[in-house]
Amino acid sequence: MLDTVKRGVDGENRAGPPVVVRDLRKAYGDVVAVDGISFTLEKGTVTALLGGNGAGKTTTISMLMGLIIPTSGVAEVFGADMSTARHRVLHRMNFESPYSDVPMRLTVHQNLSIFARLYGVIGFEARIRELSASLRLDEFLHRPYGKLSAGQKTRVSLAKALLNVPELLLLDEPTASLDPDTADWVRSRLEDYRRETGATILLASHNMGEVERMADRVIMLDRGRIVADETPATLVQRFGRETLEEVFLDIARRGGRHDAETRS
């Protein structure tokens, strides 16, 4: 998939972990979305960010992209504070989410070529051909994005996310609303990408099967706080459960009981 990838030192900050989060907090008035979390992502790892709705996953990812400024604490990517210096490193990362689209009336090729120009991909036509072949976009490459099925749109979104061969890939529920076959296929492509490039992946997901398959590590959030941070296997073992889904439910329901106790 990555024939055009050339490896080598390019003078940018390579030392240290790609992502460092320290005491990160985001509050909207009285509502605390993320409450003083800290973690580090090592190069080449896949980390899953889990939690129920409103646990703080999307806010955390958004702070890592520099789209949200934290109330306090630091989100660093490749050594750059994403609040103040995100443009130093944005070309080295990318993200994919079914909740963002690209312009509907433009064809897939037009959309990809625009993003390739924004990222400054050298020889982008070759890169688009390469991605088109590996992600099976050929049949609809010149069709408007708005006329594609959900599965096809996800493949385009993935192609957009991989255009610049990102060293850090942020994925927000990448397989949501896909049928099991297509979702499995997308996971395989992401695994291929990680294997071929050594990229670091942060994955927010509600699909526990996906997390068990892809993630080396799980960070579980509950009401903006980290309540677990370990490998999927260790987590399952520690909770005395058989699957990650059971652990997820335990933590979610424990949170619910805690809410009830607090209210009473």
Q: Which residues bind another protein (CB under 8 A)?
A: 4-8, 10-12, 26, 28, 33, 58-59, 62, 65-69, 87, 90-95, 97, 99-107, 110, 113-115, 117-122, 127, 144, 160, 164-167, 197-198
Contact 180, 188 (CB under 8 A): no
Q: Which is nearer to another protein, 195 or 258 (CB)?
A: 195
Q: At closest approach, how far in Å is the CB of 34 from another protein?
A: 11
Q: Which is nearer to another protein, 52 or 70 (CB)?
A: 70
Q: At closest approach, how far in Å is the CB of 145 from another protein?
A: 9
Q: Which is nearer to another protein, 78 or 248 (CB)?
A: 78
Cα-based distances in Å from 141 to 50, 106, 128, 138: 34, 11, 10, 5
Tokens of 125: 């036509």
Element containing residue 61 per DSSP (H, E): helix 57-65
Cα-based distances in Å from 55 to 60, 205, 211, 233, 250: 10, 12, 17, 22, 15
Q: At closest approach, how far in Å is the CB of 87 from another protein?
A: 6
Comparing C-alpha atoms, which of 262, 263, 236 is closest to residue 250? 236
One-letter identity of residue 136: R
Q: Which is nearer to another protein, 131 or 228 (CB)?
A: 131
Q: What is the CA radius of gyration of the chain?
A: 19
Q: At closest approach, how far in Å is the CB of 163 from another protein?
A: 9
Cα dihedral value 100, 166, 152, 64, nearest 10: -20
Q: At closest approach, how far in Å is the CB of 139 from another protein?
A: 20
Whole-number Å distance between alpha carbons of 144 and 150: 13
Q: At closest approach, how far in Å is the CB of 184 from another protein?
A: 25
Q: Which is nearer to another protein, 178 or 199 (CB)?
A: 199
One-letter identity of residue 250: D
Q: Which is nearer to another protein, 97 or 205 (CB)?
A: 97
Q: Which is nearer to another protein, 150 or 233 (CB)?
A: 150
Q: At closest approach, how far in Å is the CB of 29 from another protein?
A: 10
Q: Is the dihedral of CA 225, 228, 231, 233 positive or negative?
A: negative
